[in-house]
Chain A
């Protein structure tokens, strides 16, 4: 159904060309919103929507953008989309919007956005750009969910807010690892994910 090229555009960023662990883009928010699974999921979805939409818009107007001021134009397109998403979140999911706080606004300066707009949307047509945006958004979301899964499970013994570690474990002396809630552990976890990702991908080659 999809040609090889579009398939690569869509699926490449999920693993081989992942925006977070391979291209090292969008680290700031990936680390900050992953204390719990729910804000991480919302953030992943928000970024996916914004990357895909921004890619389409910039790709449609790419031939009319003067080269010298293209960064400002791209930033304004992204900022308008982020404002929309943040107002929608504030209206329908206020508590999550508060948890994400400034990191929602910081999607504007998320390097994934600028990186994809510069590297892909400025030179490709709208449909390919849309797929590229979706792929990169999902690639970002996957890493977010993995990190958040471990941090919430080990840090507060819960997933999506529901307790999963049985009370009998706590009675037997099991303790939540408070370290996981600290910013520092997010960095170390991402370091370990990169380690695992690189060793697995090398074996495949």
Chain B
């Protein structure tokens, strides 16, 4: 339990998907113009991570490893992710049309979000770690916690950036730096701030 909790907290702060590994950067930069839409995308990413990562964990441990098919993991993982995104899209459309309307365009794009695939690939690396290591994923519970933590970390990062960008609308930025350039530098400064968590030891 203690291990899962520390994994959860670490994956939000110290191993933040955006600030430590740059995963999901494309949609992170493209969709962070307003707080409302970015919160929607953050929720969708967390949700899909929470489903795909444990599924891929089970596949890796109970199918790929015993059969020695490790080299097929890329194709299998991406197929699982694409299929689950499709299913999630249909389920959400059926049971919660209002949520579907607000997430609509982002849902299919999540299939190619690096944060989702990256989560699964990091999970694959962490399975073989020594169980004593704080980063090790030793069971399905750990996998769920890791997915939840990474998702929340991503959500927090995109909402923070959207908040800053909304404020920055009125700032006097040099012409060539406007838009993308200043956003990069902002994210860089945020990443610097997040580095203070990297020494965190729970």
Contacts and interface: CB of A to CB of B under 8 A. Distances in A.
Contacts of A185: 188
Interface in B132-168: none
Contacts of A108: 74, 78, 117
Contacts of A80: 75
A25 B25 CA distance: 9
Interface string B63-82: 00000000111110011001
A195 B176 contact: yes
B20 A27 contact: no
A96 interface: no
B22 A27 contact: yes
Contacts of A182: 191-192, 195
Interface in A102-141: 102, 105-106, 108-111, 114
A82 B22 CA distance: 20
B181 interface: yes
B44 interface: no
B181 A198 contact: yes
Contact of A187 (B74, B114, B175, B187): B187
Contacts of A101: 125
A32 B79 contact: no
B200 interface: no
A202 B180 CA distance: 15
Interface string A150-168: 0000000000000000000
Interface string B174-193: 11110011111101110110
Contact of A27 (B25, B72, B177, B188): B25
A82 B74 contact: yes
Interface stretch (B3-11, B52-60, B105-113): B105-113
A28 B24 contact: yes
A109 B188 contact: no
Contact of B176 (A75, A109, A190, A199): A199
Contacts of B104: none
Contacts of A177: none
Nearest to A31: B22
B192 A106 contact: no
B121 interface: yes
Contact of B191 (A72, A110, A184): A184
A191 B188 contact: yes
Given A25-B26, A76-B78, A194-B180, A102 B71 contact: no
B13 interface: no
A47 to B, nearest CB: 13
Contacts of B71: 83, 87
Greatest chain B CB density within 10 A among A86, A114, A188 is at: A188
B108 A71 contact: yes
A205 to B, nearest CB: 12
B40 interface: no
Contact of A31 (B25, B118, B176): B25
A13 interface: no
B122 A102 contact: yes
Interface of B: 19-26, 29-30, 71-75, 78-79, 82-83, 86, 108, 111-114, 116-118, 121-122, 125, 174-177, 180-185, 187-189, 191-192, 195
Q: Which 9 A-B pairs have the closest CB atoms?
A: A191-B184, A187-B188, A198-B176, A188-B188, A184-B191, A27-B25, A102-B121, A191-B185, A199-B176
9 contacts: A29-B22, A75-B111, A83-B72, A86-B74, A109-B112, A183-B19, A185-B188, A191-B181, A198-B181
